[in-house]
Amino acid sequence: MPADDYQAVMARKNQIMKKAVGLDYSRFSRSEIAFDYGRMMAEVGYSLAEIIKIQQATGVGNTPLLELKNLTALVRKIAPRGKGARIFLKDEAANPSGSFKARRAAVSVYHAEKNGYDGVVAATSGNYGAAVASQAAMRNLKCIIVQEVFDRQGQGQPEILEKGRKCEAYGAEVLQLSVGPELFYTFLRVLEETGYFNASLYTPFGIAGVETLGAEIATQLRARGEREADAVVITHAGGGNLTGTARGLIKANSGKTKIIGASVDLSGLHMASDRDFNRKSFTTGHTGFGVPFASWPDRADVPRNAARALRYIDRYVTVKQGEVFYLTEALAQLEGLERGPAGNTSLAAAFALAQTMEQGQIIVVQETEYTGAGKHPLAQLNFARENGIRVERGNPDLEKAGESVIIPERPEQIKARELDLDRIKLSYLKNILKNTGVKKIEGEDLVFLAEEIKKSIAEVRAMLNRLP
């Protein structure tokens, strides 16, 4: 038996991943920097039409596209004259496991079954675990979910505990861990010991599964005789949601639609900190994932992350925790849709952005998620209070992550705060130099980086010259 200490297991990670994913990532490499992203995505081996059939077999996809007429009316009440885009919402809570992540899981679990794996493993604190467990149950595969749940005192967030309960309800074995490096170590050991398929969020299979979501937005709007969406707002965490949706829109010939990423502003909190772990009221869709994964996507649990947000994103905005809780209640009371708070991050951003757009334009909120006892706003806010966080009404601009959650007093206070994409792209280039050790970038590496950050070669050169 190979050694199972931390250093030994981490040294074998590439070997373990190759066997667990069935992809030899080295085949896509062109240099220390460049790799063939298009070829890697093509390795999925399933066309968009085939993925639709795979998902339909387990009841995934073709979710409703709803026009939020009452929220649009509220937007127009407070917007300048002539402003107030129509807001549409893709109700992904209609998927079997209650979120868009069923799309990612459907392709991964199908591929595992097709290739003779006995089971699947996923490392996740959230909805993706429930999606993998649900799909595994439908295909009679075993399922293990490795979940980061507790701080050092053994205290778990109600939202994360709710998601663990949901995984167990589908028959999965759930390994619940504390925050820290043991998550990836345990994940690797489980993969090696079981020989199960790595149903990672970041493989080409997972990202290709989300492409149907983008394609559906385009085709459903056309079927209703509507114009092409002017903007689609996508909750941004690890980047797979945004990448897959954008690729699906492009495949459905809606490439002119603006892709806007939205994250909850948790600046000042460190996601790997035991102290900070329970001082946030959102476990995903926040800047603690969104910014680091955008500026260095290959921090993922596979050698090359198929989620590469900077290739597709046009704008990146943030909203406050209190603003998302406000819109969660507004969605329930004005539109009759009670959905989980984390999925309403993009709704809060869209509510603010719609006020700046013309009334004839369309802005689409790309997803919702299910709610439950632990995911309900009251559970999260009570947990925040127990951890010393002030919960109050007031000006959300004054909210400070880890210290307060400020719920707006009026809808006019909700804002979409712009992040500097060029600064994030510059951070990506800095990380390239730091993590590869390459001193001089030229030739195909320049072409690759231009594609990676959606810039011209001349712009990439200029940005590299700005780095120390």
Give pLDDT tens digits for 278-330.
Answer: 889 998 899 999 999 999 999 988 889 999 999 999 999 999 999 999 999 99
pLDDT by residue (tens digit) across 323-347? 999 999 999 999 999 999 878 999 9
What is the pLDDT averaged over residues 259-284?
A: 89
Which residue, of 184, 204, 224, is where some domain finishes? Answer: 204
DSSP codes joined into one string, 447-460: HHHHHHHT--HHHH
What's the predicted TM-score (pTM) here? 0.96
- Chain-centroid distance, C-alpha 419: 17
Helix (H) or strand (E) holding 52: helix 48-56
> Can you name the residues that pair with 67 across neighbouring β-strands?
88
**Residue 35 DSSP one-character state:** B
319, 262, 354: which is closest to 68 by C-alpha?
Answer: 354
Which helix (H) or strand (E) segment holds residue 292: the answer is helix 287-295
Half-sphere exposure of 50 (CA within 13 A, CB side): 9
Domain-located, residue 456:
yes
Query: Are residue 363 and residue 319 in the same domain, yes or no?
Result: yes
371: its two tokens: 């709610």
| Residues 81, 317: Cα–Cα separation, whole Å | 24
Query: Residue 277's pLDDT band (boundaries 50, 70, 90)?
Result: confident
Q: Collapsing DSSP states into helix, strand and coil, what is residue 197?
A: strand
Let me know whether 242 and 282 are in one domain.
Answer: yes
Measured at the CA of 141, the angle between CA 139 and CA 142, to 5 degrees, comes to 150
Task: Report yes or no on 351 lying in a domain.
Answer: yes
pLDDT for residue 178: 86
| Averaged pLDDT, 141-169 | 91
Residues 363 and 398 in one domain: yes
Q: Answer yes or no: do 191 and 70 share one domain.
A: no
Asked whether residue 150 falls in the same domain as residue 168, the answer is yes
**Range with lowest mean pLDDT among 364-368, 370-374, 462-466:** 370-374
Does residue 1 sit within a domain? no
Let me know the angle formed at the C-alpha of 17 by 14 and 22, rounded to the nearest 5 degrees: 125
Residues 375 and 448 in one domain: no
Give burial (CB, 10 Å; 0-12/13-18/19+) of 306. buried
Packing angle between helix 457-466 and helix 421-436, nearest 10 degrees?
70
**Whether residue 412 is found in the same domain as residue 345:** yes
What's the CA angle centered on 67, arms 62 and 68, to 5 degrees?
A: 130
Looking at the 3D structure of the chain, how many domains does it have? 3
Asked whether residue 282 is assigned to any structural domain, the reply reads: yes
Do 184 and 267 belong together in one domain? no
pLDDT at 180 (0 to 100):
77
Q: What is the DSSP string of 395-449?
A: -GGG--TTTEEEEESSGGG---EEP-HHHHHHHHHHHHHHHH--S---THHHHHH
CATH code for position 144 = 3.40.50.1100
439 and 309, same structural domain?
A: no
CA 208 – CA 27 distance, rounded (Å): 19
State how far the Cα of 145 lies from the Cα of 148, in Å rounded to an integer: 10
**Structural domain boundaries, residue 431:** 426-466
Separation of alpha carbons 433 and 468, rounded Å: 11
Q: Is the pLDDT of residue 1 over 70?
A: no
Mean pLDDT of the chain: 94
Give the integer Cα–Cα distance in Å for 408 and 74: 15
Same domain, 29 and 163: yes
Please provide residue 325's backbone torsions phi and psi, each rounded to the nearest 5 degrees: -60, -40
Query: Do 374 and 259 lie in a common domain?
Result: yes
Q: Both 133 and 273 in a single domain?
A: no
DSSP bridge pairs for 291: none
Q: 142 with 196: CB under 8 angstroms?
A: yes
Average pLDDT over residues 246-256: 96
